[in-house]
Amino acid sequence: MSLSPSVDRPRLVRLHATDNVGVVVNDRGVAAGTALGDGLVALEAIPPSHKVALEPITEGAAVRRYGEVIGWARRDLPAGSWVKEADLDLPTPPTLDSLPKSTAVPAPGEPLEGYTFEGYRNADGSVGTRNLLGITTTVQCVTGVLEHAVKRIRTELLPRYPHVDDVVALTHSFGCGVAFDSKDVQIPIRTVRNLARNPNLGGQALVVGLGCEMLRPEQIVDREGAGADLGDSGLYRLQESQTGFAGMIEQILAMAQRRLEILDRRRRETCPASALVLGMQCGGSDAFSGITANPALGFASDLLVRAGATVMFSEVTEVRDAAHLLTARSETEAVAQALIDEMEWYDRYLERGQSDRSANTSPGNKAGGLSNIVEKALGATVKSGTSAIRAVIGPGERAQGNGLQFCATPAGDFVCGTLQLAAGMNLHVFTTGRGTPYGLAMAPVIKVSTRTDLARRWPDLIDIDAGRIATGERTVLELGWELFHYYLDVASGRKKPWAEVHRLHNDLVLFNPAPLT
Ligand code: CA
């Protein structure tokens, strides 16, 4: 990270009012004797992204970062000293069967009234941020035909329906050769079903199947004949074609056109910010993720929750080591238990593959200033802000109600994004340190860089530069508000994130923990 002279002064980031350590964000760290502001002087050289005691911390006292205890001081730490891994006794996270439940539920923030966006209202009460024709599938066999059809819909039909943003094929590799008696198979089935109900598809998703696959279209749509008033059932099985490939394309185009007519009549309406369903994710993280981008997302999450929106954070393995804090923050004991159940399920899932979560921070993490596993998990969890956790969404399930919710997903970007779409996400935000061109076809994806250097190198891929927190150009609070307003602009279609401008669309990737036959 290159700092301009005006901001190349000693910089500390303190993430929470109760923190007694700050993090040095200067590219080269600070030298001994450096004045750090407010009378604080560095007692020794402190490397970049490492911690400094903001006040005297006595032996045995709590060391706080992100407003949480990340360790207990093993010695007296005078103000201005470098707080290293060896100075901390690790707070041992309790095992899953002894986690605190709803013991530290944050009080609700003051409601934020009056914030709105322009969205597409759906019959089921949800609101779309885009107006897309979705065509879902019950098996991989149809993908080639459907892609051909989608190309023709895009070039021949879409120009006649200017109020429809795009057509999206919900293709995937599931549907056949699957052990349908497995309990876990419900995860991909409900994912496919709920993807078709994503608010951005306007309740008009078509289903294209082959005809002999194990995943039945009835499992995807509520009832056959849902579109009967349109002259078709909304389902099409390629094996019904009497006129080969040409007949298949003709049929799909005809069904698509009927739905484009309906979608094209829709207009954006002013909707309360509470209709937003934001999915948050990180990928290609670095030591700055937990210092700049994730805290800014956390601040913006709290604003959204106060505005009544639904905000999801995910990635079980990223937050697993902060489980005790999440269960304590859960609004009710039932929510805490649901969280524990998901974590337990995931532990067993990993065990089955003779794997486990990496219980220790890597040498790279430690060099980057992360002292222990709790601090690492907090850096990922900080995206969730400080609100109470209101609900837990199982993988493939749809979010119910508003507030902050934990959507239990793997951490892989596309799997997580797909499951958040199934949960009803209509807006996605993604923080990245090392950089990724990630994007989704079904919802706008906002990318936030953890460092200014990445935003400078990738000005046509990064939408928001959270590195400005490290350079001192913005505070976490200012960047959080900037994000909040940007969310509303993108949701309204007033602004388009780069992934949408360039049409960078990653494949949907289903999470299928069930065996294949
Ligand atoms: Ca991820």
What is the model's pLDDT at position 4?
Answer: 41
Give the torsion sign (CA, 489, 494, 499, 500).
positive
- If you measure from the C-alpha of residue 427 to the centroid of ligand 1, how many angstroms do you get, rounded to a whole number? 16
Q: How far is the CA of 41 from the centre of ligand 1 (A)?
A: 38
Q: Report the percent of the chain where pLDDT is more than 90.
A: 75
Choice between 361 and 138, residue whose per-residue pLDDT is larger: 138
CA of 281 to the centre of ligand 1 (A): 6
Instruction: Band the pLDDT of 361: cuts 50, 70, 90.
Output: low
Using an 8 Å Cβ cutoff, are 442 and 420 in contact? no
CB 66 within 8 A of CB 18: no
Q: What is the sign of the dihedral through the CA atoms of 178, 184, 186 and 191?
A: negative
Tens-digit pLDDT profile for residues 160-169:
999 999 999 9
Kindly give the distance from the C-alpha atom of residue 410 to the centroid of ligand 1, in angstroms, as a whole number.
8
Interstrand relation of 132-137 and 206-209 (parallel, antiparallel or unpaired) = parallel
Ligand 1 center from residue 318 Cα (angstroms): 9
pLDDT of 2 higher than 60: no
Q: For residue 369, is pLDDT > 80?
A: no
444-490 pLDDT per residue, tens: 999 999 999 999 999 999 999 999 999 889 999 999 999 999 999 99
> Dihedral, CA atoms, 381, 385, 386, 391, nearest 10 degrees?
-70
Q: Computed from CA positions of residues 341, 345, 351, 357, in that sequence, does the dihedral angle turn out positive or negative?
A: negative
379 contacts: CB under 8 Å, gap ≥ 6: 66, 285, 289, 290, 291, 294, 370
Residue 10 pLDDT level (bands cut at 50, 70, 90): confident
* Environment of ion ligand 1 (residues, CB < 5 A): 281, 283, 411, 413
Contacts 24+ apart (CB under 8 A), 57-62: 57/20, 57/21, 57/83, 62/20
Q: What's the 300 CA to ligand 1 centre distance in angstroms? A: 19
Distance 36 CA to ligand 1 centre (A): 34
How remote is the CA of residue 280 from the centroid of ligand 1, in Å? 9
| Ligand 1 geometric centre to CA of 282 (Å) | 5
CA 188 to ligand 1 center in whole angstroms: 19
Distance 85 CA to ligand 1 centre (A): 26
Residue 39 gets the label, from left (phi > 0), alpha (psi -120 to 50) or beta, of: left
Residue 7: the pLDDT is: 46
- C-alpha 500 – ligand 1 centre gap (Å): 19
| 417 CA → ligand 1 middle, Å | 8
The rounded Å distance from CA 279 to ligand 1 centre is: 11
Give the distance (Å) from ligand 1 centre to CA of residue 499.
16
CA of 405 to the centre of ligand 1 (A): 17
Give the residue among 299, 274, 279 at the shortest CA–CA distance from 119: 274
DSSP H helical segments within 403-448, as ranges? 413-422
User: pTM for this structure?
Assistant: 0.92
How sure is the predictor about 228, in pLDDT bands with cuts at 50, 70 and 90? low
- Residue 148 Cα to ligand 1 midpoint, Å, equals 31
- Bridge partners of 81, per DSSP, are none
285 Cα–ligand 1 center, Å: 9
Domains and CATH numbers, the chain: 12-92 (2.30.130.110), 132-263 (3.40.50), 273-313+365-391+406-501 (3.40.50)
Dihedral sign of CA atoms 9, 15, 17, 18 in order:
negative
The H or E element containing residue 323 is helix 323-329
Per-residue pLDDT tens for 395-451? 999 999 999 999 999 999 999 999 999 999 999 999 998 899 999 999 999 999 999
* 41-59 as b/e: b if 16+ CB within 10 A: ebbeebebbbbbbbeebee
Q: What is the pLDDT of residues 102-132, one digit of tens each?
A: 999 999 999 999 999 999 999 999 999 999 9
